[in-house]
Chain A
Amino acid sequence: MNKFKTEVYINKRKVMDEDQELIIQSKKGKMKAFQKLVEKYKKPAFFIALGLVGNRDDAYDLSQEAFIRVYTSMREFDPRYKFFSWFYAILSNLCKNHLRKMEVRKNYIKSGMVNAEMNHLKQRTLSPDVLVEKNEINLRLWEEISKLPYEFKEIIVLKHFQGLSYKKISEMLNIPLGTVMSRLYYARKKLKENLKDILN
């Protein structure tokens, strides 16, 4: 093993050991250890949720809810696995359910729809306030990402907003590397087609 690989290996072990230790302590009811775990992962949790649900308040609530679910089901966690992959599965389910609820709500009010109601709902699933730069390209791109099917949106969020490697994404989603590449291909192809007018 060369020096670089050894360092990467040691760092990986360190992260795993640190998480495992915090989980073991949290399982014993030590809130300080659980707080450390939350402080460590709160930002990626929030930004993943934000990319998936498109609204700051909902992303804040959902990421907090995911940590609460982690705390209440801590006993089910097998410390041999990576904490963040387990956490991501919980967070992703919450976001998926949230989006489903929003969709049902949209269909429910569609018939007797008032513009204000629909605009409010659009703001909840596609808020432009979350963008640093609100130029035409970003607004269109943000809109098109939010329209993607969940599994495509998720892969764009993990790759672009979290900057994760294919290997890390494949571990988190529990899918083969080839599937990561093909989902990314189809997600980008779809975005490319829908944004043809501004990309050329």
Chain B
Amino acid sequence: MKCEEIRSYFMAYLDGEIEHQKKLEIEKHLSECESCRKEYQSFAKLKEVTDKMKLADLSDQLWAGYWKGIYRRIERGAGWIFLSIGAIILLSLGVYQFFKEFFTDPNISLIVKVGVSTLSLGIIILLVSIIRERLFLFKTERYREVEK
């Protein structure tokens, strides 16, 4: 085998993931070719120091709280979903009841009803416009994920 081909098997040879026959061919080549031998030795040295480097474990206390942290976050997520759904239902019902009573009340003059209607319509248009703008900015804002 040529040097280039031999080098393509260096990783498998280094990590012991090579067939026996290939292993013998590489060993034979390394004993004959100084350039490949040097290259291989530098990879072997790197593997040696990388294998020696160990990452520190967490304390038992942190491991003990690991599941509790996940459970709490799942629980809170579910809590927020129910709370939001409930709030939307109640708010919609309240708004509906208010307008129903307001528009059917004979004591309120037509001009007040027209004024409230246009005011409400204006607020709705402004709200929709702001929400749409915020959504557009959120999609295109480059630094949206940067903590400020």
Contact = CB atoms under 8 A, between A and B. Distances in A.
B69 interface: yes
B12 A105 contact: no
A38 B70 contact: yes
Interface string A15-57: 0000000000000000100010011001000110011000010
A67 B70 CA distance: 7
Residue from B45, B55, B73, B146 having most chain A Cβ neighbours under 10 A: B55
B66 interface: yes
A188 B46 CA distance: 8
A56 B63 CA distance: 12
B51 A160 contact: yes
A195 interface: yes
B49 A166 contact: no
B34 interface: no
B146 A72 contact: no
The DSSP consensus for interface residues of chain B is helix
B58 A191 contact: no
Nearest to B78: A72
B54 A133 contact: yes
A35 B67 contact: yes
Chain A interface size band reads 35 or more
Interface string B49-78: 111111110100011001101110110010
Interface of A: 31, 35, 38-39, 42, 46-47, 50-51, 56, 60, 64, 67-68, 71-72, 97, 100-101, 104-105, 108, 129-133, 137-138, 141-142, 156, 159-161, 165-166, 181, 184-185, 188, 191-192, 195, 199
Interface of B: 8, 10-12, 15, 17, 42-43, 45-47, 49-56, 58, 62-63, 66-67, 69-71, 73-74, 77, 142-143, 145-147
Q: Which 8 A-B pairs have the closest CB atoms?
A: A132-B54, A101-B145, A184-B11, A181-B11, A138-B53, A160-B50, A192-B46, A132-B56
29 contacts: A35-B67, A38-B67, A42-B67, A47-B55, A60-B62, A64-B66, A64-B73, A67-B70, A68-B70, A68-B74, A72-B77, A101-B145, A101-B146, A104-B146, A131-B54, A132-B55, A133-B53, A137-B53, A138-B52, A142-B53, A160-B53, A165-B17, A181-B8, A188-B46, A192-B46, A199-B42, A199-B45, A199-B46, A199-B49
